[in-house]
Amino acid sequence: MNMNILTKSLLASALVAGVFSLQAGDITGTITLKGTPPKERDIAPLKDDPTCGKMHSTTPTTRFYVVGGKGELADVVVSLDGVSGKSTGASAAPAVMDQKTCLYIPQIMAVQTGQKITIKNSDPVLHNVHSQPTVAGNGEENKAQMPNGPDLSFSFTKAEDFVKFKCDVHPWMFAWVSVFDHPYFAVSGADGTFKIANVPPGKYTLKAAHRKAGVVTKEIEVKDGAVSVELALDAK
């Protein structure tokens, strides 16, 4: 190999390495809960309700901590903190929440600013969907929804953590929707895992927020493709 070919070869390798280092990466990880969470409470008014109660064979409980056998924690909203102005919500597929057996499913959800939130009513029961944002610019709305009635639509213009949704007909019905001004977030599943796809290279603060266990953050860097993160929250 003469020097010219060697130089070209090294240059090509450097270019390839450079291109790869600029690729977006996926942030994946697992959230676990440390300690023992408080016992969930029975929702007696739901079981006692003449219509809603019939849809449950046992008394439903609150779902504050959804934890697996090894501490895997669901319903944690994981996001890149401090990113803004990157929303693709207007063109994103709607996020869907259902009202089924007089409960919100899912109870914890995350969307982008401008993204449509579709709310279904799968129950043979009148619900009303009452959003209660607190950030200026996010309007409060209260819409009745007939039994098995047409879908409702909500959206928010400003980023806000855990916007509360409630049903005024059934006082045990709550859900929370976090709104981000970017697409870099995920909600942990029943196995505690999450995935935030296609994150541009860079240094970030990863934030994990749980309604009851609070917030933990971790500094991460996306540079050579995928990043794997383990996060733990304390039971409170």
Q: Which residues bind Cu ion (CB under 5 A)?
A: 127, 167, 169-170, 173
Q: Which of residues 52 and 206 has its CB atom nearest to Cu ion in the complex? A: 52
Supply φ then ψ for residue 19, to 5 degrees.
Answer: -65, -45
Q: Which of residues 45 and 225 has its CB atom nearest to Cu ion in the complex? A: 45
Q: Which of residues 127 and 210 has its CB atom nearest to Cu ion in the complex? A: 127
Beta strand residue intervals within 141-189, DSSP E? 141-145, 152-154, 160-166, 174-180, 185-187
Rounded Cα–Cα distance for residues 185 and 77 (Å): 7
Q: Which of residues 170 and 182 has its CB atom nearest to Cu ion in the complex? A: 170
Coil/strand/helix, residue 152: strand
**Smallest distance from Cu ion to CB 167, Å:** 3
Q: Is the dihedral of CA 134, 137, 140, 141 positive or negative?
A: negative
- DSSP notation for 58-95: S--B--S--B-TT-BB-S-EEEEET--S---GGGSPPE
**Smallest distance from Cu ion to CB 123, Å:** 8
**Smallest distance from Cu ion to CB 212, Å:** 22
Rounded Cα–Cα distance for residues 236 and 226 (Å): 32
**Smallest distance from Cu ion to CB 45, Å:** 12
Rounded Cα–Cα distance for residues 4 and 124 (Å): 77
**Smallest distance from Cu ion to CB 178, Å:** 22
**Smallest distance from Cu ion to CB 53, Å:** 13
Alpha carbon distances (Å) from 35 to 72, 73, 163, 192: 12, 12, 27, 15
- For residue 165, which of 188, 190, 143 has the smallest C-alpha distance? 143
